[in-house]
A and B are shown apart, each in its own frame.
Chain A
Amino acid sequence: MSTNRVAVVESRIDEYLRSAAPAARRLAPEERLRDGRGPTAREAVELFEDQVLSRTLDVAARDLKRDGRSFYTISSAGHEQNGVVGTLLRTTDPCFLHYRSGAFMMSRLRKQGGSTPAFDTLLSLCASKEDPVSGGRHKVWGSDELWVPPQTSTIASHLPKALGTAFAFPRAKRIGFDTGLPRDAIVCCSFGDASANHATALAGINSARYSFRKGNPTPVLFVCEDNRIGISVETPRTWIRDHFAHLEHLRYVEAEGDLVDVWEATARAVRACRDARTPVFLHLHTVRLWGHAGSDVETTYHTLAEIEAIEAQDPILANAKLLVESGAATPDELAALVADTRERVAAAALEAAERPKLASREEIVAPLAPYREDACRAVARTSRASAEKRAEIFGDKLPEERTSPTQRTLAAHVNAALHDVLAAHPHAIAFGEDVGKKGGVYGVTKGLQATFGPSRVFDTLLDETSILGVAQGAAHLGLLPIPEIQYLAYLHNAIDQIRGEACSLAFFSKGSYTNPMVVRIAGLAYQKGFGGHFHNDNSIGALREIPGLAIAVPSRGDDAVKLLRGAVAMAEADGRVVVFLEPIALYHERDLFEDGDGLWLADHPPVGEVLLPGEVGVHHGEARDLLIVSYANGLRLSLRAAKRLREQHGVAARVVDVRWLAPLPHEALLAHARECGAVLVVDECRATGAGIADAVVAALAESGYGGRLGSVRAADTYVPLGPATDHVLVTEDQIVDAARRVAR
């Protein structure tokens, strides 16, 4: 057999166009292809141009790869009927597309005058920094102007945000926020048959159905491009239909057959979604030509006969035949079209391959985590509710005037701060499990829904993946989402929504797209009388390694207010994704040293005061025997330990609260360390990579700080139930012992 299946498929098209006879009757340009159905002759040829361009770019990708000039060969070959979807959607329908969307994008970009789809794609294949979508960071389909936020899409992790966009769109309208999209816009999301099995895909589809069932308009068009294989593993013949054709609250439309059938089915699906505002599942049958990617040797799992049977279903060939036989075009015309496309792509490829690549680390990471301190401070200063509005919300006593202990705890302060944020930012929304009616399992969101209404503050279904999907979708539309993850342990089944999606968006879109949000997560250990690992998870390692993510963690109520304002300011000013980690055990803590001392209560900071990365909290700044570095529960324990060290051991310990777990305030810590000459890091998270101890110790060691160093950390174990926790978590006694050793 020929090993170059690309050439075989290409020559089959050429051979057909060389030998075919034109139809006896020519269709008029505006005549439909068959019995008044399908595209007009002109539309069909236009679509064919897009499909051939997509195919030609796929071939170019492989040619360029052979010479080491391109770096991506996962192609759209065989999937070109998705150009029908690209044609029938509007450029104001947001689209989240998977990687075989070449023809879809060619059809969509055609709608924009001045677009240069061929050259843009070639730049992207060659990883040139001039690639307008990702700036050479990934081969992704996207368009800033045409509402296609780029997706990596390899594991269908983009479905939740598509659902989120469809869910948030009518909600934005309800709260009077102008998204710039027309009222009847719909959201489209495409994926393959294999990735339809991903938990994330199923979560997105499930949540769309749930949302619709709950009475929310949810206009999302799921397009499953079924090529019946995932790399080498076949999808059972009717699996997609079996699974999705009979689900309540999900319209299923099957697009199978020739172009006319696919066109009609797609039009029906788009219409249903647009008119009925319902989730629709478009099952688009495709084939996959030339293996999964250029490096995939298909003969290891397919026989030649199987490969040829797939190639015989080539949609380009099928469409060429249909166009010729229906009289929409002559074989000569299509041959000229194909030749012209190949020629111009080949010529443009020579130029694109020479375009500059990303050449430095600074250039590559530039869009990842923009931070403009001045802009953040300006947002914090200017985004405030009017005095009247605050009086209306808070009643006779503003938070900063409150003296009652129950109103001066960390939980009460976060609650008041959230009220202020929602009042100052009319496009902010807060949501999560039990966030609305109940006001949160710890009362942190109490009263928010009553004050701001269920359109802005609402309960979600119990699925963290979808909560974060809604956050991304809402952010795409311009809202400021403040989702809540009820417990840190629950984040982990959904963390890819932050890691692979939300935080990667600015990177893969070279900053064109952002999804600013503040993700509130209740977490960390030390809850008295309420235990077990899943409510006391003490690992933030999975968050800290996410590029571009900022993480704030308060220990005291007043800090919590200022950090939350800082987080919101970073989201607003620089489009950042910020995690606001709330230590559950400190929510209602009042005392520091003794019962009833009330030293853990705080006054509400004046509006406008804010804490941003790098701004550490310093306790006992005059002390110089030892520096204790900590955060959250560890900070409170450290302050207690410092008192004992001073009174019982004559050691004067300075205690610094890092406040931001990412980015870590290395500069400030180094300055304090140099003044003290001995450093103890108190990290309440698990010992191995779960907290900040490794990073702080390593940074100090590498910075030239020559003093003594030590750390105390929790055990590398899950947190047990009840009093047994004392054996695995960091204790005050451990801190005192370690401090004495380090301070010597």
Chain B
Amino acid sequence: MTRLAIVCPGRGSYVEAAMGTLPAEHPWVREAEELRAELGLTSLLGLDRAERFRAAEHLRPANVSPLIYLISMLDAAEAAERGRTVAVAGNSMGWYTALAVGGALSFRDGLRLVQEMSLLQEQLAGGGQLLYPLVDEEWRIDGERVARVESALASSGGRAQHSIHLGSHAVLAGDDAGIRHLLDALPPVDQGRVRYPLRLVQHGPYHTRFVESVSARARERLADLEFARPRTTLIDGKGRRHTPWSADVRVLRDYTFGAQVTEPYDLASSLRVLLREYAPDRIVLPGPGNTLGGVVGSAVVRERWRGVDGKSAFVRMQAGDSPLVDSMRR
């Protein structure tokens, strides 16, 4: 049976093309709508069926997070039919989805976690995230760019920090002064029709000490969240494995509300562990958009997995008989 690994996307993944795809009668959609109603929040189906995409509304953290969660969960359930899932990972907010996909949280608790965290994040004043590429057009590490990032962080006086290690890109975060400093300090790069550094709209300084208040409040508000042993091995943002047989639910809870929130999220390490220790036949990317396609591709290149040593080779492999990465909504 095909051995699948699932990698759940983060908050930047929602795209207009995802609209109009929620199955209204699905029990998860109904459950989500109930919770949204309880909290007095806009209907997700309403957002999904809206006449047009409105960034201010669709990308509002408290709206976009549960939308991504819901679509990712539906996709992951569909993917599970295609083989046997051997490991689940996620990027940033995708960790919450991974907890639910892997069975460490129920669908509802996963949704509550996603919803609550997004509401807490909305309350954050100031700061943000930006994106800067570390690889060249062939997805190979560009040492000079890495050095630029380190130097920009070093000269920020602690106002900016690493937020997510994607491997292909640095996600950096800071308070307002920190972000301004990074925008000044990082020389512009044009790559793939995008100009970097790219400020991420409506994103706070996640995965840094700047969001310690979120960590504390989430612990308090979600004290009743029930963590269980996962059904499938989870790989967290520190590259640690939590297996169905020995996962410590206390560690899962503590990590989810603690280090996951306030320390850099190391997706690169997570993907490395996923490839090397699980060697899946297929890496499935559920959820809207395809933000992780290049990230996972460059992880494959970094590991020279299946001999893939650059973007061109990756594209060739993907076009061949046994593509490694399956982006469900590409």
Say yes or no: A344 contacts B245, CB within 8 Å.
no
A395 within 8 A of B: no
Say yes or no: B245 contacts A114, CB within 8 Å.
no
Against A, the Cβ 8 Å flags (1 = close, 0 = not) of B272-306 are: 11001111110000000000000000000000011
Q: Report which of B86, B246, B272 forms a contact with A344, defined as CB distance below 8 A.
A: B86
Name the A residues within 8 Å of B233 (CB-CB). 340
Known: A45-B245, A116-B272, A336-B244. A348 touches B239 (CB 8 A): no
Cross-chain pairs A/B with CB under 8 angstroms, 19 sampled: A42-B246, A46-B245, A48-B245, A49-B246, A114-B238, A114-B239, A114-B240, A114-B266, A114-B269, A116-B272, A116-B273, A118-B277, A119-B279, A334-B245, A340-B243, A347-B3, A347-B278, A347-B280, A350-B279
Minimum CB–CB distance for B142 against chain A, Å: 22
Q: Report which of A115, A116, A337 forms a contact with B245, defined as CB distance below 8 A.
A: A337
Q: Which single residue of chain B is at the shortest CB-CB distance from A343?
A: B3
- Assembled-state Cα–Cα distance A46/B278 (Å): 17
* The 10 nearest A-B residue pairs measured at CB: A114-B239, A347-B279, A119-B276, A113-B238, A46-B246, A114-B269, A116-B276, A348-B279, A113-B240, A45-B246
A329 within 8 A of B: yes
Say yes or no: A29 contacts B245, CB within 8 Å.
no
A351 within 8 A of B: yes
Minimum CB–CB distance for A150 against chain B, Å: 20
Say yes or no: A344 contacts B239, CB within 8 Å.
no
- A residues 171-209 near B (Cβ < 8 Å) are none
A545 within 8 A of B: no
Minimum CB–CB distance for B65 against chain A, Å: 25
B307 within 8 A of A: yes
Q: Report which of A29, A119, A336 forms a contact with B277, defined as CB distance below 8 A.
A: A119
Say yes or no: A351 contacts B245, CB within 8 Å.
no
Q: Report which of A29, A42, A344 forms a contact with B278, defined as CB distance below 8 A.
A: A344
- Assembled-state Cα–Cα distance A27/B208 (Å): 38
- Assembled-state Cα–Cα distance A329/B279 (Å): 26
- Assembled-state Cα–Cα distance A423/B233 (Å): 55
Name the A residues within 8 Å of B307 (CB-CB). 354
- Assembled-state Cα–Cα distance A114/B274 (Å): 10
B248 within 8 A of A: yes
Q: A120-B276, A340-B233, A344-B86 are in contact. List 19 more A-B contacts (CB 8 A).
A: A29-B248, A45-B245, A45-B246, A113-B240, A113-B266, A114-B273, A115-B239, A116-B272, A118-B276, A118-B277, A119-B276, A333-B244, A336-B244, A340-B86, A344-B279, A347-B280, A348-B277, A351-B305, A354-B307
Against A, the Cβ 8 Å flags (1 = close, 0 = not) of B226-245 are: 00000001001011110111
Q: Which single residue of chain B is at the shortest CB-CB distance from A130?
A: B304
Q: Which single residue of chain B is at the shortest CB-CB distance from A123?
A: B276
Minimum CB–CB distance for B3 against chain A, Å: 7
- Assembled-state Cα–Cα distance A654/B246 (Å): 76
Minimum CB–CB distance for A658 against chain B, Å: 42
- Assembled-state Cα–Cα distance A350/B243 (Å): 23
Name the A residues within 8 Å of B306 (CB-CB). 351
Name the A residues within 8 Å of B236 (CB-CB). 113
Chain B positions near chain A (C-beta within 8 angstroms): 3, 86, 233, 236, 238-241, 243-246, 248-249, 266, 269, 272-273, 276-281, 305-307
Name the B residues within 8 Å of A120 (CB-CB). 276
Name the A residues within 8 Å of B246 (CB-CB). 42, 45-46, 48-49
- Assembled-state Cα–Cα distance A196/B126 (Å): 65
Say yes or no: B273 contacts A42, CB within 8 Å.
no
Name the A residues within 8 Å of B239 (CB-CB). 113-115
Minimum CB–CB distance for B272 against chain A, Å: 7
Q: Which single residue of chain A is at the shortest CB-CB distance from B307?
A: A354
- Assembled-state Cα–Cα distance A113/B280 (Å): 20
Minimum CB–CB distance for A117 against chain B, Å: 8
Name the B residues within 8 Å of A354 (CB-CB). 307
Say yes or no: B86 contacts A343, CB within 8 Å.
yes
Against B, the Cβ 8 Å flags (1 = close, 0 = not) of A105-118 are: 00000100111111
Chain A positions near chain B (C-beta within 8 angstroms): 29, 42, 45-46, 48-49, 110, 113-120, 329, 333-334, 336-337, 340, 343-344, 347-348, 350-351, 354
- Assembled-state Cα–Cα distance A343/B1 (Å): 11
Name the A residues within 8 Å of B266 (CB-CB). 113-114
Q: Report which of B3, B249, B272, B278 forms a contact with A114, defined as CB distance below 8 A.
A: B272
- Assembled-state Cα–Cα distance A501/B306 (Å): 37
Q: How many CB-defined contacts (below 8 Å) exist between A and B? A: 73
Q: Report which of B238, B245, B249, B280 forms a contact with A336, defined as CB distance below 8 A.
A: B245
Say yes or no: A344 contacts B238, CB within 8 Å.
no
Q: Report which of B245, B249, B280, B281 forms a contact with A329, defined as CB distance below 8 A.
A: B245
- Assembled-state Cα–Cα distance A354/B277 (Å): 16
Name the A residues within 8 Å of B276 (CB-CB). 116, 118-120, 348
Say yes or no: A49 contacts B272, CB within 8 Å.
no
Known: A343-B86, A344-B278, A351-B305. A333 touches B245 (CB 8 A): yes
Minimum CB–CB distance for A386 against chain B, Å: 32
Minimum CB–CB distance for A115 against chain B, Å: 7
Say yes or no: B245 contacts A49, CB within 8 Å.
yes
- Assembled-state Cα–Cα distance A476/B326 (Å): 47
Minimum CB–CB distance for A352 against chain B, Å: 9
Name the A residues within 8 Å of B243 (CB-CB). 49, 337, 340
Minimum CB–CB distance for A144 against chain B, Å: 16
Q: Which single residue of chain B is at the shortest CB-CB distance from A44?
A: B246
Q: Which single residue of chain B is at the shortest CB-CB distance from A118?
A: B277
- Assembled-state Cα–Cα distance A340/B305 (Å): 21
Minimum CB–CB distance for B277 against chain A, Å: 5
Name the A residues within 8 Å of B269 (CB-CB). 113-114
Name the B residues within 8 Å of A348 (CB-CB). 276-279
- Assembled-state Cα–Cα distance A110/B242 (Å): 11
Minimum CB–CB distance for A450 against chain B, Å: 47
- Assembled-state Cα–Cα distance A118/B277 (Å): 6
Q: Which single residue of chain A is at the shortest CB-CB distance from B87?
A: A344
Minimum CB–CB distance for A132 against chain B, Å: 11
Minimum CB–CB distance for B274 against chain A, Å: 10
Q: Which single residue of chain B is at the shortest CB-CB distance from A113?
A: B238
Determine which residue in B269, B278, B307 has the highest number of CB atoms from chain A within 10 A of its CB, and name it: B278
Name the B residues within 8 Å of A29 (CB-CB). 248-249
- Assembled-state Cα–Cα distance A340/B243 (Å): 10
Minimum CB–CB distance for B296 against chain A, Å: 16
- Assembled-state Cα–Cα distance A45/B242 (Å): 12
- Assembled-state Cα–Cα distance A97/B56 (Å): 59
Name the B residues within 8 Å of A110 (CB-CB). 241
- Assembled-state Cα–Cα distance A347/B282 (Å): 12
Determine which residue in B273, B277, B278 has the highest number of CB atoms from chain A within 10 A of its CB, and name it: B277
- Assembled-state Cα–Cα distance A627/B236 (Å): 70
- Assembled-state Cα–Cα distance A29/B251 (Å): 13
Name the B residues within 8 Å of A115 (CB-CB). 239, 273
Q: Report which of B238, B272, B279 forms a contact with A351, defined as CB distance below 8 A.
A: B279
Known: A119-B276, A347-B3. A42 touches B248 (CB 8 A): yes
Q: Report which of B3, B277, B305 forms a contact with A116, defined as CB distance below 8 A.
A: B277
- Assembled-state Cα–Cα distance A352/B316 (Å): 21
Q: Which single residue of chain B is at the shortest CB-CB distance from A334?
A: B245
Minimum CB–CB distance for A281 against chain B, Å: 31
Name the B residues within 8 Å of A46 (CB-CB). 245-246
- Assembled-state Cα–Cα distance A117/B272 (Å): 12
Name the A residues within 8 Å of B248 (CB-CB). 29, 42
- Assembled-state Cα–Cα distance A329/B241 (Å): 19
Name the B residues within 8 Å of A350 (CB-CB). 279
Minimum CB–CB distance for B160 against chain A, Å: 23
Name the B residues within 8 Å of A337 (CB-CB). 243-245
Q: Which single residue of chain B is at the shortest CB-CB distance from A340?
A: B86
Q: Which single residue of chain B is at the shortest CB-CB distance from A356?
A: B304
Name the A residues within 8 Å of B272 (CB-CB). 114, 116
- Assembled-state Cα–Cα distance A110/B241 (Å): 8
Minimum CB–CB distance for B300 against chain A, Å: 11
- Assembled-state Cα–Cα distance A128/B266 (Å): 26
Name the A residues within 8 Å of B249 (CB-CB). 29
Name the B residues within 8 Å of A118 (CB-CB). 276-277
Q: Which single residue of chain B is at the shortest CB-CB distance from A344?
A: B278
